[in-house]
Chains A and B, each alone.
Chain A
Amino acid sequence: MNILEKIKTSITYFDGGMGTMLQERGLAPGELPELWNITHPDVIIDIHKAYLESGCNIITANTFGANRLKFDNLEEIISCAVKNAKAATSEFDGDRYVAYDIGSLGKMLKPLGDLEFEDAVSLFADGIKIAEKSGADLILIETMNDSYETKAAVLAAKENSDLPIFVTCVYDENAKLMTGADPAAMAAMLEGLGVDALGMNCSLGPEQMIKIVPKLVSETSIPVIVNPNAGLPKSVNGKTVYDVDAEAFSDYMVDIVKAGATIIGGCCGTTPEFIRKTVEKTKDLPFKLPEKKNNTVVSSYTHAVKVGSVPILIGERINPTGKSKFKAALRENNLDYILNEGINQQDAGADILDVNVGLPEIDEVKMMVSVVTELQAVSDLPLQLDTVDPTAMEKSMRIYNGKPLVNSVNGKPESMKAIFPLVKKYGGVVIALTIGTAGIPETAEGRYEIAKNIIDEAEKYGIDRCNIIVDPLAMTISSDIRSANVTLESIRLIEQRLGVHTSLGVSNISFGLPNRDFVTSTFFAIAMQNGLDCAIMNPFSFEMMKIYHCYKALRGMDENCGEYIAYASNITASNTSTVTESKKSASEDSSDPLMHAIIKGLKEKAGSVAARLVKENDPLKVVNEQIIPALDTVGKGFEEKTVFLPQLLMSADAAKEAFEAVKAALTGTDQPSKGTIILATVKGDIHDIGKNIVKVLLSNYGFDVIDLGKDVPPETIRDCAVENDIKLVGLSALMTTTVPSMEETIKLLRESGMGTKVVVGGAVLTQEYADMIGADHYAKDAMETVRYAESIFEEK
């Protein structure tokens, strides 16, 4: 019987711990156990055989840490490991399998760590190819702490072998991975990727895992794996002792099977004895796979969002359409602005963020990848990937840390042909627009037909209808007064006849009308009442959020009206009309209100006062007579140690708001820029807080900053400097170990013959270091960098 049939028909047993058994036989601390595949094959085979004798079906080859980062002789290690395992299984009858065992690479992926997602995929791929060639029966990706690394491993497995894929992660007692994911999030992502079984191992003993098993079983439709530790390790009289023995372990395992796990075994501290007793006690228990769930669910790196019970808000603001500021941000590669839009929508109550960064003049594929990468590092909301470019869609689905919402497919054959294979490969819930070859049908019946056609077609690709959300399209009532009715009727028809969920970009309904929010929000209420599950909408709209909270309270979706009360208690009379002009600032107690606002770090006030001032005055005068002097006051205070870093940054932020107002007034004319400076944290260094502080200050002193980020190779910095004819480069490093790459960068810049000046800073830097590596200037803090920059650009 092959392994996939086996796990669908009876309880399947994994082996137990390898590490502890190897230590008993002389493996030294810090010694790499994988080397024993070559040096002590007899020991490894013996251990495998002991497990097989205890009744397990799957033995894990001794390859947990085998990757190219640790071993140059990877081929030899893995092929020996698989050979040893097969030598053991060949001596046993019955259903016995060899798993190629994959553990963490021990590196954190970017942007929090320094490993590229694609590099992780290729590191995993190297081992997988060898393992398949060597004859492994399945791939076990185990002891995973991080959903993102897990995804890289699964993709590598899918792309480089046909072997079944099992995945187990490490949950803590709160049922979370160390990087945040809960069982529902992991189940959504892994099932979306098409793995064959999923579950947990390591860290906890069986007693703690019992509580987590139902959380997995209730979220997945595939077999659940549970491989606990023998409790926790303790050192007693210099010997490692785990606090759960084989008897107790196997008793717990009975409950774990009863809770719904069908693939079981052990992890650290367990021995053949644990497995033998577990097999004895569980082999005759009833075998029951998890039920098929049919949930429509997307996920982020922390949690899953299930569509259906409560209306889901999809924030629409990360989209350049009709937003000149957003377009400018895209053109200037200003990710901060875009990330802000995301985080603010989350704070405003969005459940999912739509990401659309399409603009003809930019490289959408590249932009989509960087926005998704950065956004998912700072926001834990699931993302809706919104692009018409299939390459941008594929690239962003690939690097997305979870199961995305995909926006969109439509009823045209070419669209389905482009999108469905991606959904099948990477997992996702796809928004299906009821647009056919002949356009958008005018009737609900016509839109239903297209929806049905899309669902039928998806099925051919193996995509279940629960992974499709139909958008029957809201069209403005200003051009056709029947259009809202058709859309509402379509929602009802599609949900009743096809049993799928629906979504709408609700704001289209009011296009061309004044005070659009009035119409849009009313339509939103009616649509929800007709069964609408998701709305792509503006979470900053007062009217929309009001309707949403009221609707939930009225329809019994808000226990004790708790959410409504929390929301409405903060609404004051002045909030309740969005059409009034923004009010004048409350306390303009200073003769120079803008200077005052900046010095005090009052961001909103600085923005609104500046906006007012530039209407009445020459914008450049506002800059030179208010903003710059205010910044100077703060800067001097910082140098004299009467103002400290947090205040300095608050003031810088306030000045930024003021500058924005000035910029808006200057559109079309020359913008005040003192010069362009490159900033980078050098290669090898992933600490960027200092560099970010310098960036904030420089940009608010009127410099344009090209921020190359952290861990930047010397060549990138040089190329950028040459390309943009840069006069000044600022380099940051936190650790002594990365100072050499600072030196290397300076050397390259010198060789380019551009005469670019280099200012360096960072925790380990000193004047001596700076001199040693040939920097032009050492700045002990951010203010000093500003002063130096001013001196450089004044010289000209």
Chain B
Amino acid sequence: MSDFTVELKIAEKGEVRTVREEAVRYLGYGKRSLDEFTEKMTADCEKELLEAVNARCCYARTKIEFPRNNVVDIGFGEIESHDLFTHLQGCYGAILFAATIGIGVDRLIAKYSRIFPAKSVIIDALASSAIEYWCDKAETEITKNIEKHCSRFSAGYGDFPLSFQKDFVNCLDMTRKLGVTLSDSLLMTPTKSVTAVIGLGAESRTCDNKCMRCTNKHCIYRST
């Protein structure tokens, strides 16, 4: 049995930031810019959000094999998914990755949804950009000595079954390490959390545009 080490990384204060352009896009502005008033409110929200952020990630390396068509063996279980199978072609291994920006963010959004809905949607959008930023940053660091790797591929993308969230939570010890829990319907709390597989040894051919990986062709946030 190969060794399986789950490593933990806790973000320093100030290490996570928001990506304004992304948040503005999530809010439906597309490429238009904010008016002055919303701009100011967004700046206030940003400050409050970053105060509430408690970002962590954990990850472990594993071998992968492709025993049959459309099946990926990740060392301790098989996943049946055509899209994941395609995405990981040529990889010898993978990093199982999970990240969160913490439950304080959920509380903040819940609070404003009760007293100031406009702020709650802005913070929600900023928080979505922050978790993406944190994932990107952590991924860059984790993979810095690895010659070739794919971008993140999450359960729920394409036909990669969401039920795999259970395995993520178990094998990465996510509740203990990140405080991330799973609801009966496989949603993570804190809500601004991400799990993903990062293939090692090849550059994936399917992943340059995140939106293109998604099967929801009618999504209003779809970037192209």
- Inter-chain contact B191/A687, CB cutoff 8 Å: yes
A685 to B35, CA, bound (A): 33
Residues of B within 8 A of A343 (CB): 111, 114-115
Q: Is the CB of A170 within 8 A of B176?
A: yes
Out of A203, A378, A735, name the residue touching B187 (CB < 8 Å): A735
Q: A113-B189, A232-B8, A235-B61 are in contact. Are A646 and B27 (CB under 8 A)?
A: yes
Residues 90-119 of chain A: 1 if any B CB is under 8 Å from the residue's CB, otherwise 0?
000000000000011011100111100000
A24-60 with Cβ < 8 A to chain B: 26, 28-32
Q: A685 vs B38: C-alpha distance in the bound complex, in angstroms?
A: 30
Majority SS of interface residues in chain B? mixed
**Which residues in B have their C-beta under 8 angstroms from that of A576?**
none
* A686 touching B5 in the complex, CB below 8 Å, given contacts A29-B60, A106-B182: no
The docked-state distance in angstroms from the alpha carbon of A233 to that of B6 is 7
Known: A145-B176, A179-B179, A689-B113. Is A108-B189 also a contact (CB below 8 A)? yes
Contact A649 B60 (CB under 8 A): no
Given the complex, which residues of A lie within 8 Å of B41, measured CB to CB? Answer: 646
Beta-carbon contacts of A324-343 to B below 8 Å, as 1s and 0s?
Answer: 00000000000110011001
Q: Does B146 contact A (CB under 8 A)?
A: no
- Is A146 in contact with chain B by the CB < 8 A criterion? yes
- Tally of contact residues, B, Cβ under 8 A: 70
Q: Judge whether B130 is part of the interface by a CB distance below 8 angstroms.
A: no
Q: Is A239 an interface residue (CB 8 A)?
A: yes
Q: Which residues of A contact B202 (CB under 8 A)?
A: none
Instruction: Assess whether A30 is in contact with B176, with CB atoms less than 8 Å apart.
Output: no
Binary contact readout B162-196 vs A (1 if CB under 8 angstroms, 0 otherwise):
10000101110001111101111111011100000
**Does more than half of chain A's interface fall in helix, strand or loop, or is it mixed?**
loop
Using CB atoms, name the residue of chain A closest to B191. A687
- From the candidates A31, A146, A645, A650, name the one contacting B179 in the complex (CB within 8 A): A146
Which one, A23, A112, A145, A172, contacts B110 given CB within 8 A? A112
Chain A residues with Cβ under 8 A from B176's Cβ?
Answer: 103-104, 143, 145, 170, 202-203
Tell me, yes or no, whether B216 is within 8 Å of chain A by CB: yes
**Does residue A671 face the partner (Cβ distance < 8 Å to B)?**
no
**Are A644 and B169 touching (Cβ within 8 A)?**
no
| Chain B nearest CB, measured from A339 CB (Å) | 5
**A650 & B76 in contact (Cβ 8 Å cutoff):** no
Taking a contact as CB atoms under 8 Å apart, the answer to whether A235 and B115 are in contact is no
Tell me the complex Cα distance, A170–B54, Å.
14
Closest to B112 in A: A378
A377–B110 CB distance below 8 A: yes
Pair B185/A26 contact, Cβ less than 8 Å = no
Q: Which residues of chain A come closer than 8 Å to B32, judged between CB atoms?
A: 644
Q: Is the CB–CB distance between B110 and A30 below 8 Å?
A: no
The answer to whether A239 and B3 touch (CB under 8 A), given A644-B28, A689-B124, A692-B117, is yes
Contacts of B84 in A (CB 8 A): none
Does A199 interact with chain B (Cβ within 8 Å)? no
Does A233 contact B179, Cβ atoms closer than 8 Å?
no
Interface hit among B64-72, B99-107, B132-140, B203-211: B99-107
List of B residues within 8 angstroms of A111 by Cβ: 110
A31 touches B76 (CB 8 A): yes
Whether A180 sits at the interface, judged by CB under 8 Å, is yes
Chain B residues with CB below 8 A from A29, complex form:
4, 60, 62, 75-76, 171
Q: Across the interface, do A645 and B175 meet the contact criterion of CB distance under 8 Å? A: no
Residue of B nearest to A340 (CB): B115
Residues in A137-167 with C-beta less than 8 Å from chain B: 143, 145-146
Q: Please indicate the chain B residues that have their CB under 8 angstroms from the CB of A378 in the complex.
A: 107, 110-111, 114-115
How distant is A152 from chain B, measured CB to nearest CB, in Å?
Answer: 14
Q: A106-B182, A377-B107 are in contact. Are A653 and B7 (CB under 8 A)?
A: no
A336 to B112, CA, bound (A): 10
A238 located at the interface, meaning its Cβ lies under 8 Å from any Cβ of chain B in the complex: yes
Asked if A693 is an interface residue, CB under 8 A from chain B, the answer is: yes
Which A residues, 764 to 796, have Cβ-Cβ distances below 8 Å to chain B?
Answer: 764, 766-767, 780-781
Q: Which residue of A lies closest to B173 (CB)?
A: A19
Q: Is B10 an interface residue (CB 8 A)?
A: yes
Asked if residues B189 and A652 are in contact (CB atoms below 8 Å), the reply is no
Question: What are the 9 closest A-B residue pairs judged by CB atoms, nearest first?
Answer: A684-B185, A178-B179, A29-B4, A235-B5, A649-B118, A378-B111, A108-B189, A240-B5, A30-B171
Knowing that A378-B107, A646-B42 are A-B contacts, what are 16 other residue pairs whose CB atoms are under 8 Å apart, sorted by A's residue number? Answer: A28-B4, A108-B189, A113-B189, A114-B183, A114-B184, A180-B104, A235-B60, A238-B2, A239-B3, A340-B115, A343-B111, A684-B187, A685-B187, A693-B117, A711-B183, A764-B216
Taking Cβ atoms with an 8 Å cutoff, the residues of A that contact B are 23, 26, 28-32, 103-104, 106-108, 111-114, 143, 145-146, 170, 172-173, 178-180, 202-203, 232-235, 238-240, 335-336, 339-340, 343-344, 374, 377-379, 600-601, 641, 644-647, 649-650, 652-653, 684-689, 692-693, 696, 711, 734-738, 763-764, 766-767, 780-781
A-B contact pairs, 30 of them (CB 8 A): A30-B167, A31-B76, A104-B181, A106-B175, A112-B110, A113-B183, A114-B189, A146-B179, A178-B103, A178-B178, A180-B103, A233-B7, A233-B8, A235-B7, A240-B5, A340-B114, A343-B114, A378-B111, A644-B27, A645-B118, A650-B118, A684-B185, A684-B187, A689-B109, A689-B120, A692-B117, A711-B183, A734-B187, A763-B219, A766-B218
